[in-house]
Chain A
Amino acid sequence: MHTKTIAELSALLHEGAVGAEELARALLERIQRLDGDLNAFITVTAEEALAQAREADRRLRSGEATPLTGIPIAHKDIFCTRGVRTSCGSRMLEPFVAPYDATVVERLAAAGAVSLGKTNMDEFAMGSSNETSHYGPTRNPWDPERVPGGSSGGSAAAVAARLVPGATGTDTGGSIRQPAALTGITGLKPTYGRVSRWGMVAFASSLDQAGPMARTAEDCALLLEAMAGFDPRDSTCVDRPVPDYRAGLAGEGDLKGLRIGVPREWMEEGLDGAVRACVERALQVYRDLGAEVREVRLPNAHLAVPVYYVLAPAEASSNLARYDGVRYGHRCQDPKDLTDLYKRSRAEGFGPEVKRRIMIGTYVLSAGYYDAYYLKAQQVRRLISQDFRRAFEEVDLLAGPTSPTTAFRLGEKLDDPVTMYLSDIYTIAVNLAGLPGLSHPAGFVNGLPVGLQLVGDHFEEARLLEAAHRFQQATDWHRRIPEGYQ
């Protein structure tokens, strides 16, 4: 059961060949047995899951079911889940039990998905390795000495280890795509505004987006259909109909007529040679499917990481100002006065990476520095966005490596924060421009997965999913299972 995709499980559940409760129990048992080593989960919600599964079975029997009814999933611990601890991987929210469900959680529950628990993540979504979590690092199922990527590392590891067939993640600078690449799964960051952020703890409000993580593009399509759509509670959510993401995936097909652009800037120095070779072989698969693959230019690509490390920390410093020890979350003992309450609660509640980013954010927004840093970064953001606009006049999709390397070792990049920041070199610009991006498995280097990133124009998720799906019909990288998790 654990090796089946969401699409396969859905068929079995609807045929009555397997029950939702039976399936949930099997995966909960698997999590209990295997997650000790992996640490993909912060909270497992067994009782709630079984209750949801029994309800799903009732709906399957009475014919009220949807394609996701009875499908076990996990939620990144950044989504509020009513009555269940929602920690964001932080000590600051260790005591926090969410009083409501995030829209994403509500929608997946309404579709009948069964949540098995909350997955581990870099603290407040700030990180690219899942090492900044207060609850300990998550390990990569392909090699326990290596990171699964971050910040949705727990969700990625849980899916790759076949503990759940699908999970939710969030992506602000690459946090769905990069862990998907490092763990050999498929992850999609939708267009900014496609999925509601209500109930999703905010990191950087102009960059954050929720998305699906699963083993296949088809499974991501199923999840996205339930997650996406207008929500009046999120003022940045766009009121635009959700297409049938599975329509373009039917039967066999090719990609004749699809124009794919490979930015030269994404294939240059800094990219590991073996990863480059793997990506080039994957691009040949796209050519064999009938797509035209040509080079394009993104002249301001080298400015994406610097711009992001002004804008994201600035927005984070504002969003994290609410954690003050007063209304919820961690409070220090015996505060002498209000200022001491704030300063010590925050110093104790936040880890070092979060504090670094709050400090940088505060600095770039402070009087005398706002124009030189924050305003400048917003101007360069527009230039970066314009580069994509021009590229999409010539091609339909962009493609390239998701990550410059395969999974690195735990502890390898913790010394200098900037080294870690450069892991997101290909993913960050996509968030700055608000575009949809997907990573799918494209091969292996020394036994470690390599991901290919596809980027589309705004609201072109269907095109991304179709291209990745045709690739997955022609290859089997996405079916490989890590040793010990078969």
Chain B
Amino acid sequence: MNLDRSTVERIAHLARLAVAEEDVPRYVRDLSRILDLVERMNAVDTRDVEPMAHPLDIPQRLRPDEVTEPDRREGLLALAPQAEAGHFLVPKVID
């Protein structure tokens, strides 16, 4: 299964990963090989087979909509590369 350069570039953009020009061929090669492996799935007929998302086939547990988390804002902001006045700082988004 051969991916082309433009597909690799499009996926890289969706994944928000910067890919250097010179690395694109390597990705084309590696991703194509992985997709060749994955193609083997098509050998089996899965019409009428229910997709399985959870290995034990049980639904997600729900809980009452009540606050259970303590306020840890200061501690969590301290982890940020750049934070100020209770906010995370990023390059300007809106002109």
Contact = CB atoms under 8 A, between A and B. Distances in A.
B49 interface: yes
A119 to B, nearest CB: 22
Most chain-B CB neighbours within 10 Å: which of A326, A385, A421? Answer: A326
A458 B56 CA distance: 8
Nearest to B81: A331
Interface string B38-59: 1111111010011111111010
Interface string B62-95: 0100000000100110011110000010111100
Nearest to B72: A99
A345 B16 CA distance: 9
A382 B79 contact: no
Nearest to A324: B16
Contacts of B55: 192, 206-207, 381, 385, 431-435
Contact of A346 (B17, B30, B75): B17
Contacts of A95: 81
Nearest to B46: A379
Given A232-B63, A236-B60, A382 B31 contact: no
A228 to B, nearest CB: 15
A249 interface: no
B49 A340 contact: no
A309 B53 contact: no
Categorize the interface residue count of chain B.
35 or more
B82 A331 contact: yes
B19 to A, nearest CB: 7
Contacts of B16: 321, 324, 339, 342-343, 346
Contacts of A350: 17
A381 B80 contact: no
Interface string B1-41: 00100011001101111110000000100110111111111
Contacts of B18: 340, 343-344, 346-347
Contact of A366 (B14, B56, B75): B14
B94 to A, nearest CB: 10
Interface in A328-349: 328-331, 335-344, 346-347
Interface in A380-422: 380-383, 385, 416-418, 421
Interface string A214-253: 0000000000000000001001101100000000000000
13 contacts: A235-B61, A303-B43, A337-B92, A343-B17, A346-B17, A356-B27, A366-B11, A378-B52, A378-B53, A382-B49, A385-B52, A417-B34, A458-B56
Interface of B: 3, 7-8, 11-12, 14-19, 27, 30-31, 33-44, 46, 49-56, 58, 60-61, 63, 72, 75-76, 79-82, 88, 90-93
| 9 smallest beta-carbon distances between A and B, as pairs | A434-B55, A378-B51, A331-B81, A379-B46, A343-B18, A382-B52, A347-B18, A342-B16, A328-B79
Given A337-B92, A376-B42, 19 more contacts: A95-B81, A97-B79, A99-B75, A232-B63, A303-B40, A309-B38, A310-B41, A317-B15, A326-B81, A328-B79, A338-B91, A338-B93, A341-B91, A342-B16, A380-B41, A385-B55, A417-B30, A417-B33, A433-B55
Interface of A: 95-97, 99, 191-193, 206-207, 232, 235-236, 238-239, 300, 302-303, 305-307, 309-310, 317, 321, 324-331, 335-344, 346-347, 350, 355-356, 358-360, 362-364, 366, 373, 375-383, 385, 416-418, 421, 431-435, 458
